[in-house]
A and B are shown apart, each in its own frame.
Chain A
Amino acid sequence: MTAAGTLTRTGRGSRLVGLGALLLLAAVAVLLSLGLGAQALHPAEVWQALVHPDGSDATAVVRELRGPRTVLGVLVGLALGAAGALMQGHTRNPIADPGLLGVSAGASLAVVLAISIFKINDFHGYVWFAFAGALVASVLVFSLGAAGAGGPTPVTLALAGMALSALFASFTSSILINDPDTLSVFRFWVVGSLAGRDYATAWAVLPFIVAGLIVAAINAPALNALGLGEDVARALGQNIVVARTLGVTAIVLLAGAATAAVGPLAFAGLIVPHIARVLTGPDHRWLVPFAALLGVSLVLIADVAGRLIASPAELQTGIVLAFVGAPFFIWLVRRIRMVRL
């Protein structure tokens, strides 16, 4: 462990600077999210509205319209970034996204049921359905993936996740194919968007995201040992089953809460860890916080871009992430030699 210690010490200074820069970037993204939209506000006006709220239009826009989605963007960005880093760390698979453990598919099925059976028609009404669906699905995935002789290995977890996700997706489709009314509502949830959410949604998911981030922070150091292979990790004193269970708990809390709040935006959790890994290398003690902060910037900037591109209408956050995030990711993969898992 001496070699690892030395390596970390030499890199610590520059990594702290990097963390500071990412914090700054996230703060700028928050300001942009509060200031930009159909009506652009000067940063001074934003500050005024935050610190000394008055009855002006600016105060109403900042606090009532852009406030909730900004808070949600911060929470969801943190959650998806951290969950993505953990997911790829545990599976050691670069194409694993945080929705893989059944979270996205389970939440989608639950929301479809909420629309078609309970006739629920507003985004806040979906939160608990989506969260429950995500939890049930991922508990199923984990119990099946862990039930084999080898315990919860990354490959069995990932395969069980893919398989059950496809199963849930086919139930979802079979409902939607015979129910166009539900489909016409559901298609706006399933792209993922921060628009039209209120503070109540943010408060509902806040405890789960905070708990998830704490578990993620506890779990991150273990991933460095697990990355050497399970046998080496065991020899280094890691309890593999505990580490895997903590990791899955964190991923499910974070990705489940994020999906419940804004719909499936798992793509953010897929690309952010790759970008963060370029900055930090494979050390998960740094990778997880870097990915979380980058997630905030990415989600907020995508949301702001969606407001500006189609102004005065809006383009959904998930669509912007695909249209802007994907080309950026491709550019990045071409430019920089990606750090392998």
Chain B
Amino acid sequence: MSSPLLVLPGRRVLRAGPVSAAIPLRTVAVTLLALAATVAAGVVAVGHGDFPISPETVWQVVTGGGTRIERHILLNLRLPRVLCGLLAGAALAVAGALTQTFARNPLASPDVLGVTYGASVGAVAAIVLGVGLIPIAALAGALLSAAAIYLLAWRQGIDGYRLVLIGLGAGQLLAGITSWLLLRADVADVSRASIWLSGSLAGRDWSHVRPLAVALVVLLPAAVAVSIALRVLQFGDDTARGLGLRLQGAQLAVVVVAAALAAAAVAAAGPIEFVAFVVPQIALRLCGGSRPPLVASAVLGAFLVVGCDLLARIVVAPEELPVGLLTAMVGTPYLLWLLLRRSRRISG
């Protein structure tokens, strides 16, 4: 790499003495645009409702001004909901990007780690048995099933292929338990459970946002750190080992970070459908490259969820839909358009 004429397509190479770095210009541009769109969607979302608040007032309130009622509506009702969507979307998208790269499978999502299915069993059991504490039940279900799947897949080490297959089997088992619980529940509980199962941000407050924010502060840097190992892992387990990667440690780190991110998001907002699967694929097609970019996925995930929640409050106003129904309705056409426009073969 000593050639001074080294040219990387689509990247600007920065040099400072012996240090050099390649900046993927397109990824940076996509990320910045998505960030601007997310902020705009967030401002509109906190302003929209029965009591409309203009963007200037939003700014005044955030900086400490505004009337008492404006402060109450914004800070206690709307901001937690928007932040919850923002953080959950980012967490799910990063978890999806990690899982798809780790499994080398574009159809994979944290579902193969059992997170969503386990969380669903926990939450539906809490609803049907009338225990309450839905977020805690969901978190416990998610983490327990992810741990169980990892342990079941352990046989003198973890093999990505075996982990995916075992996660698949375990996911079906957990989905079966959820159906079984739903068949035995009374109809009112089934309705409540199906709203939770769609993924909804209704009624989310700071008690949902705080744990999720703490989780992201810890886990997002961890995700970027483990993604360095993933760069090698995508060539296959044997090649990665040959290149000097400590395979078991790297795989454990990826699985733990991805499962924890997804679990935190699902506990707060329910299994918002499709974000973990579709956003990494959209980010990959927007940014180019050989694997889904993490930061761009996080920002696009946040944008998708916040934007869809805003739509979910507008389309059937004064009623509202669970945001998880909108993410698929909005995300699908976009993914299909990307697929059609440039049908490149990406094997994940």
Q: Is the CB of B164 within 8 A of A164?
A: no
Instruction: Pick from B153, B326, B336 the residue with the most CB of A within 10 Å.
Output: B336
Q: Known contacts A147-B340, A159-B335, A170-B325; is A177 also within 8 Å of B195 by CB?
A: yes
Interface stretch, picked from A19-27, A267-275, A286-294, is: A267-275
Q: In the docked arrangement, what's the CA distance between A187 and B180, Å?
A: 10
Q: Which residues of A contact B274 (CB under 8 A)?
A: 166, 170
Q: Is the CB of A176 within 8 A of B194?
A: yes
Chain A 186-200: CB-based contact to B (< 8 A → 1; otherwise 0): 011011000000000
Q: Is the CB of B321 within 8 A of A153?
A: no
B179 at the interface (CB under 8 A from A): yes
Q: Known contacts A183-B194, A334-B155; is A156 also within 8 Å of B339 by CB?
A: yes
Chain B 174-209: CB-based contact to A (< 8 A → 1; otherwise 0): 011101101100011011001101100000000000
B307 at the interface (CB under 8 A from A): no
Chain A 308-333: CB-based contact to B (< 8 A → 1; otherwise 0): 00000000101101110111011001
B229 at the interface (CB under 8 A from A): no
Q: In the docked arrangement, what's the CA distance between A144 and B347, Å?
A: 18
Closest B residue to A188 using CB positions: B183
For residues 112 through 159 of chain A, which have their beta carbon under 8 Å from a beta carbon of chain B? 144-145, 147-150, 153, 155-156, 158-159
Q: Known contacts A159-B339, A169-B273; is A95 also within 8 Å of B164 by CB?
A: yes
Q: Which residues of B contact A96 (CB under 8 A)?
A: 107
Q: In the docked arrangement, what's the CA distance between A177 and B196, Å?
A: 10
A167 at the interface (CB under 8 A from B): yes
For residues 158 through 180 of chain B, which have their beta carbon under 8 Å from a beta carbon of chain A? 161-162, 164-166, 168-170, 172-173, 175-177, 179-180
Q: In the docked arrangement, what's the CA distance between A187 and B90, Å?
A: 32
Q: Which residues of B contact A148 (CB under 8 A)?
A: 339-340, 342-343
Q: How large is the interface on B (under 10, 10 to 19, 20 to 34, 35 or more residues)?
A: 35 or more
Q: Is the CB of B194 within 8 A of A177?
A: yes
A160 at the interface (CB under 8 A from B): yes
Q: Which residues of B contact A327 (CB under 8 A)?
A: 169, 173
Closest B residue to A184 using CB positions: B187
Main secondary structure of the interface of B (DSSP, over half): helix
Q: In the docked arrangement, what's the CA distance between A183 and B106, Å?
A: 32
Q: Is the CB of B343 within 8 A of A166?
A: no
For residues 168 through 224 of chain A, which have their beta carbon under 8 Å from a beta carbon of chain B? 169-171, 173-174, 176-177, 180-181, 183-184, 187-188, 190-191
Q: Is the CB of B187 within 8 A of A180?
A: yes
Q: In the docked arrangement, what's the CA distance between A173 and B328, Å?
A: 11
Q: Known contacts A163-B332, A177-B198; is A187 also within 8 Å of B152 by CB?
A: no
A233 at the interface (CB under 8 A from B): no
B225 to chain A minimum Cβ distance, whole angstroms, is 27
Interface residue count on the A side (C-beta < 8 Å): 55
Choose one: B165, B190, B336, B347; the contact of A163 (CB below 8 Å). B336
Q: Which residues of B contact A330 (CB under 8 A)?
A: 152, 166, 169-170, 173
Q: Is the CB of B106 within 8 A of A159?
A: yes
A227 at the interface (CB under 8 A from B): no
Q: In the docked arrangement, what's the CA distance between A267 and B273, Å?
A: 20
Q: Is the CB of A144 within 8 A of B336?
A: yes
A340 at the interface (CB under 8 A from B): yes
Q: Given A180-B190, A327-B169, 18 more contacts at CB 8 Å?
A: A95-B112, A144-B339, A148-B343, A155-B347, A166-B278, A173-B198, A173-B324, A177-B322, A180-B187, A318-B176, A319-B180, A323-B173, A323-B177, A326-B176, A330-B152, A330-B169, A333-B166, A338-B161
6 tightest A-B CB contacts, nearest first = A322-B176, A148-B343, A326-B173, A170-B328, A329-B169, A166-B328
Binding site for A on B (CB under 8 A): 105-108, 112, 152-153, 155, 161-162, 164-166, 168-170, 172-173, 175-177, 179-180, 182-183, 187-188, 190-191, 194-195, 197-198, 273-274, 277-278, 281, 321-322, 324-329, 331-333, 335-336, 339-340, 342-348
Binding site for B on A (CB under 8 A): 93-96, 144-145, 147-150, 153, 155-156, 158-160, 162-164, 166-167, 169-171, 173-174, 176-177, 180-181, 183-184, 187-188, 190-191, 267, 270-271, 274, 316, 318-319, 321-323, 325-327, 329-330, 333-334, 338, 340
